[in-house]
């Protein structure tokens, strides 16, 4: 939810685009960074309400407990709002979680706690969890292995080294802003209750070596 906002700010926010040329055609992409910076310049904040889909909320809770939706929301706010959609690794986001403590754990060494929670979520996403459909909490991977890249950065995964694979995911993944039109997000809209809302999309990609 977007707080302390009005229709004029909403309309200005939704009008910000980047003009790019693709194959000789002028396109207008949603200016994620400019939109977030505009909100911040107006002193406007965003507040987590709930995942858009109830299925996603239930899956997150099943994966990591009642606090997991709020934890994921804090990561998304950090990436889109605090960092304006700039390059952000999972490890950096976890350090932010340890400082902000959105789950309210209130005890020491929170980095390890949030690292474990996010690593388990990533592992679940790679082994069967889909936010669009109900999830039974079980992995769909039966042994086997995964190999990525051919430049020496190779990882093999087997069920007996799941913790190693989880650490690899945290180390090698970063946030990605997918297509706004395809995923229907990054535009402020006003509901019948008079409140304003803004969707953030959760997507990761592997960091490529330079």
- For the chain, the structural domain boundaries read 2-206
pLDDT digits (tens, 9 = 90+) for 117-172: 999 999 999 888 999 899 988 877 655 555 555 565 555 555 556 788 899 899 99
* pLDDT computed for residue 159 by the predictor: 52
Side-chain half-sphere exposure of 202, counting CA atoms within 13 A: 23
Residue among 176, 197, 202, 180 nearest 47 (CA)? 197
Give the C-alpha distances (Å, rounded to integers) separating 149 from 47, 123, 153, 157: 39, 19, 6, 14
Size of the chain, expressed as the number of residues it contains: 210
For residue 45, which phi and psi values (nearest 5 degrees)? Answer: -110, 165
Q: What predicted TM-score, i.e. pTM, was given to this entire model?
A: 0.87
């Amino acid at each position: 939810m977007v707080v302390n906002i009005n229709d004029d700010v909403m309309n200005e926010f939704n009008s910000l685009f980047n003009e790019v040329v693709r194959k000789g055609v002028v396109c207008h992409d949603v200016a994620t960074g400019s939109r977030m910076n505009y909100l911040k310049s107006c002193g406007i904040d965003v507040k987590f309400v709930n995942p858009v889909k109830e299925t996603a909320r239930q899956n997150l809770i099943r994966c990591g407990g009642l606090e997991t939706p709020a934890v994921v929301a804090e990561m998304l706010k950090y990436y889109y709002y605090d960092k304006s959609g700039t390059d952000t690794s999972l490890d950096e986001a976890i350090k932010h979680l340890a400082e902000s403590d959105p789950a309210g754990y209130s005890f020491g060494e929170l980095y390890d706690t949030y690292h474990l929670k996010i690593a388990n979520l990533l592992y679940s996403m790679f082994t069967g969890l889909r936010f669009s459909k109900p999830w039974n909490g079980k992995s769909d991977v039966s042994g086997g292995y995964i190999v990525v890249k051919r430049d020496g950065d190779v990882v093999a995964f087997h069920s007996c080294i799941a913790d190693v694979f989880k650490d690899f995911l945290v180390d090698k993944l970063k946030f990605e802003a997918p297509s706004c039109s395809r995923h229907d997000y990054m535009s402020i809209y006003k509901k019948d209750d008079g409140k304003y809302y803004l969707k953030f999309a959760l997507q990761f990609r592997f960091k490529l070596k330079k």
